[in-house]
Structure 1
Amino acid sequence: MSNKIRWGVLGGGGDSLIGVLHRVAASMFDAYQLTGAVFNPDFEANKAFANEIGIPTSRIYKDFDTMVAEELKLAKSERIQVFSVLTPNFLHFPMAKKLLENGFHVICEKPMTMTYAEALELEAIQKQNNNIFALTHTYTGYPMVRQMKKMIEEGVLGDIQKVDVQYYQGWINPIIHDKEKRNTTWRLDPSKSGISCCMGDIGVHAYQMLEFVTGMEVKTILADLNHLYDDNQMDIDGTVLVRLGKYTKGVIRASQIATAEENNFAVAVYGKKGALKWEQENPNYLYHLVDGEPIKTLKPGNVYNSKLSLDGTKLPPGHPEGIFDAMGNIYKGVAKAVRNQPYDKAEFPSMRDGVRGMNFIETSVASHKEGNVWKEL
């Protein structure tokens, strides 16, 4: 009998980029077996897609509720163990809630929920049922981000003084400047996306990365968001000042109208003894800066890297690793947790990351609406 983890997928059918990303990531370390799914709300399209990617249709279900009910009828040794929730934002909370309440482990796309209150409710359910919950802040899976975290943890930079995180994209430009498009896309519909577009989609990645690599928690924030048009209800650009301590401050800059930018995600951490810089579009380079010394460039796969970084490196030095590999590292960490194997808590973002992320999104919007004032997290 296969010892692979039985894995179910919700959403991610057809030409969904996120669906491909998760399927490739789950296949990387031979830990998961795609066992059942509801890829699409159209049952015929759902079965057709299963045939297209070559999986049996016997556990392709017509809808989510049917899937949970039918899986619970099976013996625990046959039942799906882990579900990935890849649906639009407004479905994350009800699906994750029902899965956790019924004993399933969950891997969820972000934002975790639509509201901070929902996030707290989900956290309480997870604690009560003791399920594994992973939130796919994919960039934490990059080997050199993990190296950055460990170097800061070991005191290489000394006391942290300044953090600067940028996430610039330009993809929404063709939509936002067309009145009909901006009023009909689900991304700009609060009932489907939540109260924030830019901060909810990419700003929360920058916020989570800031706390992940520094090991510190943001205490207060001041946000200035941009909607660009009066009839657009959601932010598509913004700057958030952050305070992590009395003398540790930073900035989060996020935009979906940064014309011609693709996926310009970068993080820089400046300490008393040095600095570290990483860019997602060049993920194999971690730059270490020290006053009076040449810039050092660290690369994945080399023996000078941490155990956590090397565990997430699949290729010898000099061979690029990318976003599929980063997502694969998150799935690898979840597999260790499901199997009760030892794992580093940095191997996958947790429920707590989701709760803090939703708090950040809501507080950013409140800070802006109240006149760009400081707000406690």
Structure 2
Amino acid sequence: MGKKIKLGVLGGGGDSLIGILHRVASSMFDKFEFVGGVFNPDHEESKKFAQELGIGTDRVYKDLDHLIAEEAKLPEDQRIKVVSILTPNFLHFPMAKQLLENGFNVICEKPMTTSYEEAKILEDTLNKSKTIFAVTYTYTGYPMIRQMKEMIAAGEIGEIQKIDVQYYQGWINPIIHDKDERNSIWRLDPEKGGISCCIGDIGTHAFDMIEYVSGLEVKELLADLNYVYSDNKMDVDGTVLLRFSEYVKGVLRSSQIATGEENNFAVKIYGKKAGLKWEQENPNYLYKLEDGQPMKVLKPGHEYNSALSLDGTKLPPGHPEGIFDSMGNIYKGVAKAINGEKYHPAEFPTMKDGIRGMNFIEKVVDSHAKGNVWVKLDA
């Protein structure tokens, strides 16, 4: 086995869900060595967190400037080679830009930036740096999502006619109805979260997913958002009509006030010959529907699955794999790219996906603000 890639992390300290998800995922295929980073704005808290994790505090830095300066002093083969950005949204762009300018590979949480303009600037920076950049649209790492993508590309469902994606959560429901609470969390603060909460947080997952599995691009959209209260500046619910072409239409439904829902993410693609359905809360099952035929259920790990799907499957059939495994597959793809190994372009979301996501968010907000009208996405 080759030498492990040294990994640094920005954010993700304390009881952060996303922090443990990235740490576990990065360790799955023995490709990365987590060595340090900046986990908290308070340096002492960062060091305490490192001690809790059992890693040395010598590479726990005060801030990003300190990380870059100190890592540059080390021999090249000992330096942090890739940094994962797990901070609130408003920090993604400046941190990613600075890292790219200093030659680091980057794995960034979504949304990639807080504006489309920032995303395009980041693309220019990446082109100059010639490093690897990944955006963690996590659910693209599931084996049966990759199988779904490959089946559609192979024409197994025929020409696509209808796309329906739903992402429902309920976690903001108890917060939104308390004025003090809704004014205190960063996700409902435009200065920290950007112009959108629900669409920016989970709607962008749904948007990336439908373009990933279908191989199609959304050309136009019409959005209707819900803010619930007039003093709330961030959407917490939205429905978006989609046009892929004159005869291929779809709908994206996203909500964080779907009372009682946990993480109800479902993708349905219907073609002339068949349909495919997948649900994140039961990710090992891919359903194939055909007129006049019993519904078929495909599961991971079987030889009938594609090479891309099987590459993302660690265990024999019947052993459930979940979101940690899905994120692990993205890290695995990034490791291949950094090491110069051959990899499938669908193994991890790239800068292009991040840019498309930011264009989508801004167009959704624009469509709603203009009175729920059709607007075109950039090509």
Matches within 5 A, 1:125-144: 125-144=125-144
* 2:145 and 2:278 in contact (8 A); partners too: yes
Letter of the structure 1 residue corresponding to residue 22 of structure 2: H
Corresponding residue number in structure 2 for 1:195: 195
Corresponding residue number in structure 2 for 1:31: 31
Corresponding residue number in structure 2 for 1:90: 90
Distance in structure 1 (CA, Å) of the matches to 2:179 and 2:351: 37
Letter of the structure 2 residue corresponding to residue 114 of structure 1: T
Matches within 5 A, 1:56-71: 56-71=56-71
Unaligned runs of 5+ in 2: none
SS at match of 2:268: strand
Q: Quick check: 362-371 or 125-134, which moved more?
A: 125-134
Q: How far does the alpha carbon of each residue in 1:170-219 deviate from its partner, in whole angstroms, 9 at most, with x for none?
A: 00011100011111211100000000000000000000000000011100
Corresponding residue number in structure 1 for 2:245: 245
Q: How far does the alpha carbon of each residue in 1:42-85 deviate from its partner, in whole angstroms, 9 at most, with x for none?
A: 11111111111100111111111111111122222111100000
Distance in structure 2 (CA, Å) of the matches to 1:186 and 1:81: 30
* 2:37 and 2:59 in contact (8 A); partners too: yes
Corresponding residue number in structure 2 for 1:329: 329
Letter of the structure 2 residue corresponding to residue 113 of structure 1: T
- Report how many residues are paired: 377
Corresponding residue number in structure 1 for 2:356: 356
Runs (4+) off by over 3 Å: none
Corresponding residue number in structure 2 for 1:173: 173
Letter of the structure 1 residue corresponding to residue 13 of structure 2: G
Aligned-pair distance for 1:161?
A: 0.5
Aligned-pair distance for 1:351?
A: 0.3
Unaligned runs of 5+ in 1: none
What TM-score do you get using the length of structure 1 for normalisation? 0.99
Distance in structure 1 (CA, Å) of the matches to 2:2 and 2:341: 18
Corresponding residue number in structure 2 for 1:9: 9
Matches within 5 A, 1:1-377: 3-377=3-377
RMSD: 0.9
Letter of the structure 2 residue corresponding to residue 123 of structure 1: E
* 2:105 and 2:133 in contact (8 A); partners too: yes
Letter of the structure 1 residue corresponding to residue 267 of structure 2: V
Identical columns (%): 69
Aligned-pair distance for 1:138?
A: 0.5
Distance in structure 1 (CA, Å) of the matches to 2:302 and 2:2: 34
Letter of the structure 2 residue corresponding to residue 187 of structure 1: R
Distance in structure 2 (CA, Å) of the matches to 1:40 and 1:179: 27
SS at match of 1:70: helix
Letter of the structure 1 residue corresponding to residue 325 of structure 2: D
What TM-score do you get using the length of structure 2 for normalisation? 0.98
Distance in structure 2 (CA, Å) of the matches to 1:146 and 1:6: 28
Aligned-pair distance for 1:2?
A: 6.9
